[in-house]
Amino acid sequence: MQSLREINYVREKFREYYLKEAHKIKPPAEVEKREFGFIPLKRERGMMRHRGFPEAEQMTGFIKMLIPSDAYYSSAYYKKPDAPSMRAKGWLGADLIFDIDCDHISTPCKKRHDHWKCLSCGNAGMGEEPERCRNCDGERFEVDSWLCDECLATAKRETAKLVVILEEDFGISDDQMELVFSGQRGYHIHVKDKYIEKLGTDERKEIVDYVTGTGLHIGLHNLTNRKGEISNFNASTKGWRGRMIKAVYTMLLKRVKELKAMGIGERTAKKIEENRDMLLGWLDAGKVTQTAAFLRKRAWESLIQKAKAQETVAVDTVVTTDIHRLIRLPSSLHGKTAFKVISITVDELSEFNPLRDATAFKGGLVKIKVEKAEMIKVGGVEYGPYSNELVELPTAPALFFICRGKAALA
């Protein structure tokens, strides 16, 4: 827990930001029908909910007065958004929200910068927390998830995959989607459509199952005819069949090292690499019988399952199915990083770099004492790792370490 001195410092810096930038906060569509929630900057963090604002100016005025640690608004539209209970609010509909977060994606970098500790016995380790503690069989862990270029890039790739599925399979246009960097470890996609607004929890669960591939049983039998030949190997086929065909084709282009890293056996990987031109030539020419016979059935099954894992999207299913969800307000600050929550377009996603573009504070130097922290790259400059060190840093990385609870003012 931060001391009062650090809380006051963060509040002062956040105040500077909001007094200067609050007028740039774009209110959500139909702001008068949205519920708002705020977490104040104080030791005991609790959310203030059931706030409503008839106009955008009242929303920004409240933010400048409160100076929140974090600001949220509802994906839902209500008759009475400030009513004290969900039943009294009068639900009218909700945007479709997807949350893609590094916490839900397995990345190699977690072995280098994430830490966990068993709350039952104190046993600790690095990487993703286990399902059960190897020491005491406990199931409750304290997890310290860091962020780096690698995991943020992975979250961006997942976001890009989801955009393609929404466009190609659901017919959602770019102007119906708003992409938002969360300010910490991932992205949100807001889909705004009058028909989709009325979908309930069950319908949204069906959409989640589709993009995550839940219940999607794809094996060699799905791509073969009754003679066991790979039939209709046409990458222009719509939906998951076409997506899987393209994915398998792409996997055949990979090198042995890449295939092995994805879990393909060395023997199969070498056979693919040594005979790649022949395999791809057969597929391009439609000679699928030879292709099917060249690799063992088990090898094909493994390739297809790895291809499926590459094409499905890791989303937080709870966020999408929750028709009352509060989501972060774009242009607000994230209380655990001091980074901005930023709204971007689909076209801007490929060039967007959160550790460069989401920093809210420029210049200045702050002396801090860092207990123990992993490296973070802010604005192209690496800071850390640190272990019980006194350092003088620019405001943005200094605030990051303080907000993460890793540092105190010197």
Per-residue pLDDT reduced to its tens digit, 25-46: 999 999 999 999 999 998 667 8
Confidence of residue 236 (pLDDT cuts 50, 70, 90): low
* Bridge partners, residue 96, by sequence: 191
Confidence of residue 289 (pLDDT cuts 50, 70, 90): low
Average per-residue pLDDT for the chain: 90
Residue with tokens 């792409």: 250
Instruction: Report the C-alpha gap between 15 and 64 in whole angstroms.
Output: 7
pLDDT(343) > 60:
yes
CA dihedral 155, 156, 162, 164 (to 10 degrees): -160
Confidence of residue 205 (pLDDT cuts 50, 70, 90): very high
115-120-125 Cα angle (round to 5): 20
- CA distances (Å), origin 124, targets 120, 136, 315, 383, 388: 11, 12, 27, 25, 20
pLDDT(228) > 50:
no
Quick: pLDDT tens for 5-29: 999 999 999 999 999 999 999 999 9
The whole-number average pLDDT for the span 112-134 is 93
Q: Are strands 186-191 and 96-101 parallel, antiparallel or unpaired?
A: antiparallel
Tokens of 228: 């066991």
The whole-number average pLDDT for the span 254-260 is 89
Quick: pLDDT tens for 137-160: 999 999 999 999 999 999 999 999
The whole-number average pLDDT for the span 233-239 is 69
Tokens of 189: 């996609």
The whole-number average pLDDT for the span 191-206 is 96
Domain 4-102+149-207+316-356 has CATH 3.90.920.10: yes
Give the pLDDT of residue 220: 57
Fold category of 361-410 in CATH? Ribosomal Protein L9; domain 1 (3.40.5)
* Amino acid identity, position 298: R
Of residues 104 and 360, more confidence is placed in: 360
Angle, to 10 degrees, between the axis of helix 297-311 and the axis of helix 239-251?
A: 110
Give the pLDDT of residue 267: 87
CB distance 208 to 321 below 8 Å? yes
Question: Given CA atoms 156, 158, 159, 160 in this order, what sign does their dihedral have?
Answer: positive
The whole-number average pLDDT for the span 174-185 is 96
Instruction: Report the C-alpha gap between 355 and 58 in whole angstroms.
Output: 31
Tokens of 310: 């590459």
Determine how many CB atoms are found less than 10 A away from the CB of residue 24. Answer: 9
Full-prediction pTM beyond 0.85? yes
- Could you tell me which of 365, 370, 404 has the C-alpha nearest to residue 384? 370
The whole-number average pLDDT for the span 341-361 is 96
Residue with tokens 């105190």: 408
* Bridge partners, residue 189, by sequence: 98, 179
**181 secondary structure, DSSP code:** E
- Asked which of 125-134, 274-283, 289-298 is least confident by mean pLDDT, the reply is 289-298
CB distance 218 to 240 below 8 Å? yes
Helices vs. strands in the chain: H and E counts, helices first: 16, 18
CB distance 242 to 355 below 8 Å? no
pLDDT(104) > 70:
yes
The whole-number average pLDDT for the span 387-408 is 97
| In the chain, domain spans | 4-102+149-207+316-356, 110-144, 220-311, 361-410
| Per-residue exposure over 198-234, b if at least 16 CB sit within 10 Å of its own CB, e if not | ebeeeebeebbebbbbeeeebebeebbeeeebbeebe
pLDDT(356) > 70:
yes
pLDDT(85) > 90:
yes
